[in-house]
Every structure is written in structure tokens, then in C-alpha cells.
Amino acid sequence: MKRYFLVVLFLAVPARINALESGAAFLRINTDARAVSMGSAYTALAEGAGALAYNPAGMSSLKSVEVGFSHTNWLMDSKHDFVGIAVPVGHKMESVKQEGLGGMVMGVGLTRLTNASIETRNADRSLGGGFASYDQSISIGMARSFGKSRIGLGVKYIESVIADAKAKAGAVDLGYGRTLGRLPLSLGLAVQNLGTPMKYISQKDPLPLSFSAGMAVRAFGGFSLALDVRRLVYDKQNKVSIGTEYAVLSGFALRSGYMMGNSVKREADNGKNGFSLGAGLNFWNAQLDYAVTPYGELGNAQKITIKKQF
């Protein structure tokens, strides 16, 4: 009977409230405040250590070591965190320069969703104690540029723990990016969560496999526009994201975004569509970003990201 209540409460964990056909839904939560504030239109803009969670090819733009950290007060008193580091390890051989090859950039990242303690009850409705649960993934990625093109690869270990039950899986992420000649236009392609299914007891769910295509235009007067189209394969959803960024002053930017979704099952939307807002500040080789996203009756999710280059 106690296991019965465990399973029921497991289904109520915030990371899974919008899961349809796939498991490990925490992998769909944004890890970067800049991406959040631009409506997740980030496939063509991803850069630095944070690119591990969007398009690993974006790490190739780094010329120095970068450390990044993000924290979110997620829904229902849960916490979502990301910490990552990206290190250029390329060499400066003359033959490499002549061929237009960039150096290699390696990155490591940890993403973790920690849920609030959950109480259990016995068959007579008396308290049976409590348990904690968390979901996390550890990623290792590499990226390299080839002229105006960039490619990236990431591998990750994923686990989900509820009390004494554990599920785990492995996955691969692929990324590509390109700048079009002298035009202020960037393109990006990404495949995320291509891997083994998650299995809890007798329940087996595939990972949230997705295919993304994005473009970003750096237009005029510090204004940028980004567009993303994403297909969530097993969840049978299409997501279209539009984001804007405006550099108001030197080192300060305002951002906004909107995500539209098309779902086979209406309950999948559950307030996911809508506006997001944020701002960013650059100083002393560091970047501070903030974003807020409303989720209706569930409240607002606020994310802060700090990046520092050395």
C-alpha cells in the first residue's frame, strides 16, 4: 500500500506535470536566463558553457575559460540549478589556421532539479514519513569551428531518484551552427536527448527527444531577433519561439520572448505558452542575466544566471 502512495505522489512531481509520452521531463526546463527571457529561441544564439543544454556547437566561440551558474525558484517549491565550465583546448598550429579550423572547446555541466520533501500516508491516512526526490544530468561536450561553421557533440548521464527508487539513462546531443557570410545572420540545428529510455520499476519512458532549428538576426541599433522551431518527438508537440534582445546601453540589454505550442493533447499546454521577460548586464568579463516566466495559477518561475570568463 505504501508503494501505491509513492507512485501517486511521483506523478505529482513538478518535473513531470507536463510529460505526455516521454520521461525525464526536467530536461525540457531551460538552464539559461537569457534563453528563458527570449522565449527559448536560443538554438542559433547558444554560446559558452550554457550551450551544453541547447546546442553544443555554441561552445566553439569561446576564446577563454568560462564558468556559469544558474538558479531557478521552480514550481511548487522545487529548485532547478545548472553549473558548467567550458575550456578552450585548441592549438595554434599554422597549418590549422590556414585550413580555417578553430581550436577545440571542451565543456562539463551539471543540471539538477530538487523537489520539496513529499509526505506519504499509510492505508489509514496516518502520516507514514516523507521522502525526497531529485532529477539530474551530467554532460560532457566538445565543439569546434570550421570556417563559418561550428559543430558540437555532447554525451550525458541522466538519473532520477524518488526515495529508494532510481531510474537512469544515457543520451547524446548533436549541434551545428553557421554564420552566413557577411550578413548578421546565424543559423543553428540541434538534436537533443537521443538515448536510452528511463525505467522506474515496471514503467519505461523514452527521453524527451527533440529536433530544433533556429535563426538569429542582429539587425540595427543593438536590436536582435531570434526564431526557433522545435519538434518534441515522443510528446507529439511542435513549439515555435520568438525572442528579441535590445542593447539599451553599453553592457545592458532588455529581452522578451513568446513561445507558441501545438499539442495533440490539450492538457500538455497547461500554461506553458506565453510571454517571458528579462534583462542582462555585462561587467568585468562577467554576465548577469535575469528572467521571469508566468505559469498562471502555479505562480512565476524566476531564473538568474551568472557567467564569468577568465
Span 115-174, pLDDT tens digits: 866 666 555 565 555 667 889 999 999 999 988 899 999 999 999 888 778 889 999 999
Q: What's the domain count of the chain? A: 1
| Lowest mean per-residue pLDDT among 205-214, 250-259, 271-280 | 271-280
**Does residue 9 register a pLDDT over 50?**
no
Band of pLDDT at residue 14, cut at 50, 70 and 90: very low
Each residue's pLDDT tens digit, 88-99: 996 554 444 445
Each residue's pLDDT tens digit, 171-226: 999 999 998 877 789 999 999 999 999 887 778 889 999 999 999 998 777 899 99
Domain with 305 in it:
2-309
Each residue's pLDDT tens digit, 193-205: 999 998 877 788 8
Which residue type is seen at 99?
E
Taking all residues of the chain, what is their mean pLDDT, rounded to a whole number? 82
Which residue type is seen at 286?
A
Q: Please give the average per-residue pLDDT across 51-68, as a whole number.
A: 94
**Does residue 11 register a pLDDT over 80?**
no
Q: Give CA–CA dist 124/121, Å, rounded.
A: 8
Give the CATH number for residue 39: 2.40.160.60
pLDDT score at 45: 94
User: Is residue 230 a contact partner of residue 236, using CB atoms and an 8 Å limit?
Assistant: no
User: Is residue 190 a contact partner of residue 225, using CB atoms and an 8 Å limit?
Assistant: no
Q: Please give the average per-residue pLDDT across 73-96, as a whole number.
A: 78
**Does residue 77 register a pLDDT over 90?**
no
What is the percent of the chain with per-residue pLDDT over 90, rounded to a whole number?
52
CB neighbours (10 Å) of residue 260? 14
**Does residue 54 register a pLDDT over 50?**
yes
CB burial readout 263-280, b (16+ within 10 A) else e = beeeebeeebebebbbbb
**Does residue 6 register a pLDDT over 60?**
no
